[in-house]
């Protein structure tokens, strides 16, 4: 039986959808960073010892976001298509987002922190539901 013969359970598909939405948001933010950097915007809250260090912060952050969220988006798509690869990157992102939500709360961004934490908890709950774990065990 190949992996394409084993249809992913609904909780896994919902987790893939959540991760896909999170990834699209992350990629959108990367696009915003690139546009702002190209337009010459400099964030005054970033302080460096060298004046030249601030030049590529937007581009560097955007590249980081593209790598991370691009990988997770591909993983979510693969997971939804019952491929062998994808669940790991999605789980890692959800754990990271759960931790990041703590810093959002600490910064006074309660609504954003709550949305981030709830989406991560929901996705992790679905990824580790009995049906999803049984599917992963049968698929891998």
Q: Within a domain: residue 4? A: no
Query: Among the residues of 1-140, which ranges form H helices?
Result: 10-38, 57-80, 87-106, 110-127, 130-139
pTM score above 0.85: yes
Q: Within a domain: residue 138? A: no
Q: Give the pLDDT band (50/70/90) at residue 27.
A: very high
For the chain, the domain total comes to 1
Helix H or strand E segment including 129: none
Q: pLDDT tens across 75-101, in order?
A: 999 999 988 789 999 999 999 999 999
Distant-in-sequence, close-in-space partners of 133: CB < 8 Å, separation ≥ 6: none
Q: pLDDT tens across 9-25, in order?
A: 999 999 999 999 999 99
pLDDT-above-70 percentage for the chain: 89
41 lies in which domain range?
9-131
Length of the chain in terms of residues written: 140
Q: What is the pLDDT of residue 1?
A: 45
Q: Determine the average pLDDT of the residues in 111-126.
A: 97
Distance CA 28, CA 11 (A): 26
Q: Within a domain: residue 140? A: no
Q: Within a domain: residue 58? A: yes
pLDDT-above-90 percentage for the chain: 69
Q: Within a domain: residue 100? A: yes
Q: Looking at per-residue confidence, does 25 or 7 come out higher?
A: 25
* Vertex 30 angle, CA 26 and 32, to 5°: 115
Q: Determine the average pLDDT of the residues in 108-115.
A: 96
CB 82 within 8 A of CB 139: yes
């Amino acid at each position: 039986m190949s992996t394409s013969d084993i249809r992913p359970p609904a909780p896994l598909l919902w987790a893939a959808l959540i991760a896909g939405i999170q990834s699209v948001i992350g990629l959108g933010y990367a696009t915003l960073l690139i546009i702002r950097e190209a337009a010459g915007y400099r964030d005054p809250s970033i302080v460096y010892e060298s004046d030249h260090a601030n030049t590529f912060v937007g581009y560097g952050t955007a590249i980081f976001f593209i790598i991370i969220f691009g990988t997770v988006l591909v993983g979510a798509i693969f997971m939804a298509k019952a491929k062998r690869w994808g669940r790991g990157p999605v789980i890692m992102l959800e754990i990271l987002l759960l931790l990041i939500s703590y810093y959002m709360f600490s910064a006074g961004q309660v609504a954003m922190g709550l949305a981030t934490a709830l989406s991560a908890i929901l996705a992790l709950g679905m990824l580790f539901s009995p049906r999803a774990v049984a599917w992963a065990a049968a698929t891998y």
